[in-house]
Structure 1
Amino acid sequence: MRNETPAEVVPVRFDTKIAVLLREDLETWQRLNVTAFLVSGLGTVAPEVIGEPYADADDTGYLPMFRQPVLVFEGTKERLTAAHAKALGRELPVSVFTSDLFRTGNDRDNRAAVRAVGRADLDLVGLAVYGPKNAVDKVLKGARMHP
């Protein structure tokens, strides 16, 4: 008789990756803020990344979260620029955070600040990318895991 492993015990593997790349010279508060902003829109363009809602033992409901980990990397300004170009070239969903966004205070001004600068001249401090694991790995080549 063959022993079967219950589905709940088998580790879940993903063929996709959610990754954030931050510029290495950011302050700690900026890293946290930028990461939160970058991943916030992902579920709207890739709803499959959102898992089921949570509930505790008292049946209190909580919001659903990503169904897979978000990996955070860091790199130089040049690494960010290269990753941005690679992600766009591979037509992967990308969000960007530029240095100008540290000086704005609302969504309208954030979008206007990005709109005012051409793609090649964006002063990127972070980006998030989602897609097939191998494609995201190629986009992030040369970046290192955030400490």
Structure 2
Amino acid sequence: MQKTYKTGPHAGRQSQGMSTQTSADQRPVRFDTKIAVLLRDDLETWQRLNVTAFLVSGLGTQLPEVVGEPYIDADDTPYLPMFRQPVLVFEGGKEVLTAAHGRALQRGLPRAVFTADLFATGNDTDNRAAVRAVPTADLDLVGIAVYGPRNAVDKALKGARMHG
């Protein structure tokens, strides 16, 4: 299966979905910012997918600069806009996630969190209440999403590895 991010062993390969090349000159685009998701490495596949979807939804609602223009196909059928740049997905142990969360807070990076408690809730109100009930240092994090300057995101995610 082809990976959708543009780093690692498939760096030269382009996906049919999200391109990192400009249409004018075909040179790779290097974004000054990075969207990254860090998942705890003991999650089941369905949990990884669910957590990733929830986390990135938070970024798009609060950071309009991460969202591109709407899509339109050749038949003029409109589609919703998506992120203007790739979302890189990383994984790490509980300690890596906790440390990355602390560094993201210290750097003031926009972030979203998903805790283990959210697997037991069924709606947004209960989700927010579950996070609100736990002090920052005690959150049982299973995933975070961060956005910001590339180097700041890289430093926040130090120790994490690309999700594979």
For residues 23 and 43 of structure 1, the distance between their equivalents in structure 2, rounded to whole angstroms, comes to 22
Partner of 2:110: 93
Establish whether residue 76 from structure 1 lines up as the match of residue 67 from structure 2: no
Identify unmatched segments of 5+ residues in structure 1. Answer: 1-5
For residues 128 and 155 of structure 2, the distance between their equivalents in structure 1, rounded to whole angstroms, comes to 28
Residue 44 of structure 1: CA displacement?
A: 2.2
The amino acid across from 2:77 in the alignment is T
Cα deviations across residues 57-83 of structure 1 (Å, max 9, x unaligned)? 101000000000000000000000000
Residue 97 of structure 1: CA displacement?
A: 0.2
**Which stretch shifts more, 45-54 or 126-135?**
45-54
Partner of 1:63: 80
The amino acid across from 1:125 in the alignment is V
Match for residue 50 of structure 1 among 48, 62, 67: 67
Residue 8 of structure 1: CA displacement?
A: 5.1
Partner of 2:137: 120
Match for residue 47 of structure 2 among 30, 33, 47: 30
Q: TM-score with structure 1 length normalisation?
A: 0.94
Partner of 1:132: 149
**Which stretch shifts more, 8-17 or 52-61?**
8-17
SS at match of 1:40: helix
The amino acid across from 1:9 in the alignment is Q
Question: What is the identity percentage for the equivalent residue pairs of Structure 1 and Structure 2?
Answer: 81
For residues 115 and 14 of structure 1, the distance between their equivalents in structure 2, rounded to whole angstroms, comes to 34
Residue 43 of structure 1: CA displacement?
A: 1.8
Establish whether residue 13 from structure 1 lines up as the match of residue 13 from structure 2: no
Bigger Rg, which one: 1
For residues 145 and 82 of structure 1, the distance between their equivalents in structure 2, rounded to whole angstroms, comes to 16
Partner of 1:3: none
Residue 9 of structure 1: CA displacement?
A: 2.8
For residues 94 and 29 of structure 2, the distance between their equivalents in structure 1, rounded to whole angstroms, comes to 34
The amino acid across from 1:16 in the alignment is T
Identify unmatched segments of 5+ residues in structure 2. Answer: 1-22
Residue 45 of structure 1: CA displacement?
A: 2.0
Bigger relative contact order, structure 1 or 2 (CA pairs below 8 A, ≥6 apart): 1
The amino acid across from 1:123 in the alignment is D
Q: How many residues align?
A: 143
